[in-house]
Structure 1
Amino acid sequence: MKTLLLAGGLGTRLRPLTENLPKPMAPIANRPWLEHLITYLRDQGINQFVIASHHCSDVIKNYFGDGKRFGVDIEYSDETHQMGTAGAIKNAERFLKERFLVVNADIVHLPNLIPLLEFHEQSGGIATIALTEVDDPSSYGVVQLDDSSRILRFVEKPRREEAPSNLINAGLYILEPEVMRYIPAGREVSIERETFPTLIQKSKSVYGKISSGYWFDMGTPERYRKIHWDVLENRNPLPTRGNQVQPGVWLGKDTKIGSGVRFIPPVLIGDNVEVGDQSVIGPFAVIGDHCRIGSKVHFSNSILWDQSSISDNIRVNNSIMAYKTFLNEGKVYDNLILNQYERVMQA
């Protein structure tokens, strides 16, 4: 079975981090989320992927290539303009001649595929939508099911008290090729607002199945940080690289720690990192590979991507700094978000 990974969105809610980066390539626990996703699905038996890309697509292609170094085969379906979920599926039709899986690659979802695939096979439907339960469905598309798990309707962003359920579209679909007949070509098409309602109206069997496994939308900086904290506190099962040198503190290879450095768990530090004397790292700190942290730095509730630097005597809190960013010495930074290559110098 081929899997189509939808990675063409603009990631506008996560800007400026995604101005020059596809949202699925944002790192989680010091590896791009898209790498986590591909290897996770590979370990469940999926080894053929098509990546639908648009925004900064070369970043994805340069990183993954044909997929061989990850033990999979990868093809690419380029979009010249935004096409929506269903439009991206239609655009990749030439790759998808048999039953296929679609995964929205900018949602952090670690599904157990076997129950979903077995359910789809047994139901005999044209489409199965993976569902997840949320406490407040008012920000999502909510589904209503009958007793056989057939989807009766979708309600987009209902008031909490008016929602027909707390089940929402998890962004993962098992589709039969026949679905392509109901998606118009060459334009933007929403699968939630147009394709699935059309299939239901035409009495095509569309089913929903609750998906077990971690699920979280990383669409905003606050949610992006929350996913990391879930990793550090073992609520998100993504692997962390490095050795656990004390409870809740992981250090990568060839990392140099100065004298008097104090770690307040949880902390994850990558490979080839230098931390200067008397710095305090944590709580809730993620530092990428090849970073340089000066002396007397206090870094907490923050994420630092690879190849970035923080000079001496700086306090950083509730911040996210992208690749190759730089902070000069002697200042307090709170709620700072830096795009790639940005430099913040002392006035």
Structure 2
Amino acid sequence: MKALLLAGGLGTRLRPLTEQLPKPMALVGNRPWIEHLIVQLRDQGIRKFVLALKHYPELIRRHLGDGSRYGVTIDYVIEQEALGTAGAIKNAEPLLDERFLVFNADIVQHIDVKPLLRFHQESGATVTIGLMEVEEPSAFGVVELSDRGEIRRFVEKPKPGETTSKRVNAGIYVMNKEALAYIPPGREVSIERETFPSLIEQGAGLYGFPLQGYWLDIGTRERYRKVHWDLLDRKLKLMIHGQEQNKGIWVGKDVRIGDGALLIPPVILGDGVRIGDKAIIGPYTVIGEGCHIAARARLSETILWDGCIVKEGAQLYQCVFGYDSEIEAGHILYEAYAQRMKEEVSV
């Protein structure tokens, strides 16, 4: 079975980190999230992928290539203009099989898809939506199911008392190719507002299936950090590159740690990291490959992408810095976000 990964999102709420980067390429534990997703699905037996791209497609294509280094095959389809979720699926139609999986590739998840596939086949559904249960459904579109799992209706951002359901669309679908007949070609089409209601109206077999596992949209700064803290706490069980030298401290290759430096778990240090004398790193800190942290620097609850330089005595608390950022000596920063320190810092 093929999996179609929808990877064309702008990631506007994660800017400036995603200013010139597709949102699925945002790092999670020092690896682009989309790489984690492909590896995770490969390990569940899915070896053929189609990636639907729009913004900066060359960055994803250059990183993933034809998929051979992951033991999979990857084909690409590029939107020339914004087509929406359903429009992006329709645009990929020539590359899809009679039955296929769809994933919103900017949602971090760790889910076993086999029960979803089994339900889809046994129910005779045309489309099955994977559902996750959330504590506070008012920010989502809630799904109401019949006893057989058929979707009765969607309730967008429900008010108290409007529905008892807490199940929301997880952005994971199993689709039969016949469902694409309900999507008009060549224009922007919302799957939630147009395609799914049309399937319900036509009685075309739209079902929902509750999923089990980890699921979180990384669309905000707060949730982006939460994904990392969940990774460090092992609530999100993605592979962490590097060796766990002490409990909660993962260290990559060719890492050098200076005299008197202190690592307070949980911490991840990528390949080639340099930690200066008497620096204090952690807790809840992820340092990307090739980063240099100078003497007496202090980092806590902070995420650095590859190639960052933190100069002597700088202090970072609850910060996220993108590739090759530079933090000057003695700077004290709280909740700062930037792609580079040469650019404007968003606080």
* TM-score band w.r.t. shorter chain: over 0.9
Q: How has the CA–CA distance of structure 1 residues 318 and 134 changed in structure 2, closer, same or farther, with 3 Å as cutoff?
A: same
> Residue in 2 aligned with 1:124?
124
| Partner Cα distance (1:296, 1:238) in 2 | 31
- Do 1:12 and 1:18's aligned partners in 2 also have CA atoms closer than 8 Å? yes
- Do 1:137 and 1:160's aligned partners in 2 also have CA atoms closer than 8 Å? no
- Do 2:326 and 2:340's aligned partners in 1 also have CA atoms closer than 8 Å? no
Secondary structure, counterpart of 2:184 in structure 1:
coil
The one-letter code matched in structure 1 to 2:175 is: L
> Residue in 2 aligned with 1:57?
57
Measured after TM superposition, the shift of residue 163 of structure 1 is 3.1
| Partner Cα distance (1:125, 1:98) in 2 | 13
- Do 1:301 and 1:317's aligned partners in 2 also have CA atoms closer than 8 Å? yes
| Partner Cα distance (2:292, 2:214) in 1 | 32
| Partner Cα distance (1:270, 1:82) in 2 | 36
**Greater alpha carbon shift after TM alignment, 6-15 vs 151-160:** 151-160
- Do 1:326 and 1:344's aligned partners in 2 also have CA atoms closer than 8 Å? no
Secondary structure, counterpart of 1:214 in structure 2:
strand
Deviation track 1:187-231 (CA, whole Å, cap 9, x = no partner) reads: 111111110000000011111101112101100111000000001
> Residue in 2 aligned with 1:301?
301
Measured after TM superposition, the shift of residue 341 of structure 1 is 7.1
> Residue in 1 aligned with 2:252?
252
- Do 1:120 and 1:128's aligned partners in 2 also have CA atoms closer than 8 Å? yes
> Residue in 2 aligned with 1:224?
224
Matches within 5 A, 1:61-210: 61-210=61-210
Measured after TM superposition, the shift of residue 340 of structure 1 is 4.7
The one-letter code matched in structure 2 to 1:124 is: G
Secondary structure, counterpart of 1:329 in structure 2:
coil
| Structure 1 runs, 4 residues or longer, greater than 4 Å off | none
**Greater alpha carbon shift after TM alignment, 125-134 vs 155-164:** 155-164
Secondary structure, counterpart of 1:34 in structure 2:
helix
- Do 1:136 and 1:160's aligned partners in 2 also have CA atoms closer than 8 Å? no
Deviation track 1:38-73 (CA, whole Å, cap 9, x = no partner) reads: 000001010110000001111000001111111111
**Greater alpha carbon shift after TM alignment, 91-100 vs 239-248:** 239-248
Secondary structure, counterpart of 1:158 in structure 2:
coil
- Do 1:3 and 1:46's aligned partners in 2 also have CA atoms closer than 8 Å? yes
| Partner Cα distance (1:344, 1:90) in 2 | 39
- Do 2:150 and 2:207's aligned partners in 1 also have CA atoms closer than 8 Å? yes
| Partner Cα distance (1:100, 1:245) in 2 | 41
- Do 2:47 and 2:72's aligned partners in 1 also have CA atoms closer than 8 Å? yes
| Partner Cα distance (1:101, 1:127) in 2 | 10
Secondary structure, counterpart of 2:111 in structure 1:
coil
- Do 1:321 and 1:339's aligned partners in 2 also have CA atoms closer than 8 Å? yes
| Partner Cα distance (1:309, 1:206) in 2 | 51
The one-letter code matched in structure 1 to 2:229 is: W
| Partner Cα distance (1:98, 1:111) in 2 | 23
**TM-score w.r.t. structure 2 length?**
0.97
Q: Percent same amino acid at aligned positions?
A: 50
Structure 1 runs not aligned, ≥5 long: none
Secondary structure, counterpart of 1:181 in structure 2:
helix
- Do 1:326 and 1:343's aligned partners in 2 also have CA atoms closer than 8 Å? no
| Partner Cα distance (1:258, 1:161) in 2 | 58
| Partner Cα distance (2:209, 2:197) in 1 | 17
Structure 2 runs not aligned, ≥5 long: none
| Partner Cα distance (1:181, 1:340) in 2 | 46
Measured after TM superposition, the shift of residue 109 of structure 1 is 1.4
Measured after TM superposition, the shift of residue 263 of structure 1 is 1.2
| Partner Cα distance (1:330, 1:130) in 2 | 48
What is the Cα-based RMSD across aligned positions, in Å?
1.2
Secondary structure, counterpart of 2:299 in structure 1:
strand
Q: How has the CA–CA distance of structure 1 residues 160 and 259 changed in structure 2, closer, same or farther, with 3 Å as cutoff?
A: farther
| Partner Cα distance (1:231, 1:340) in 2 | 25
Measured after TM superposition, the shift of residue 100 of structure 1 is 0.7
Matches within 5 A, 1:10-21: 10-21=10-21
Measured after TM superposition, the shift of residue 160 of structure 1 is 4.0
> Residue in 1 aligned with 2:315?
315
Alignment length, in residue pairs? Answer: 345
The one-letter code matched in structure 2 to 1:123 is: S
**Greater alpha carbon shift after TM alignment, 277-286 vs 333-342:** 333-342
Secondary structure, counterpart of 1:316 in structure 2:
strand
Measured after TM superposition, the shift of residue 343 of structure 1 is 6.0
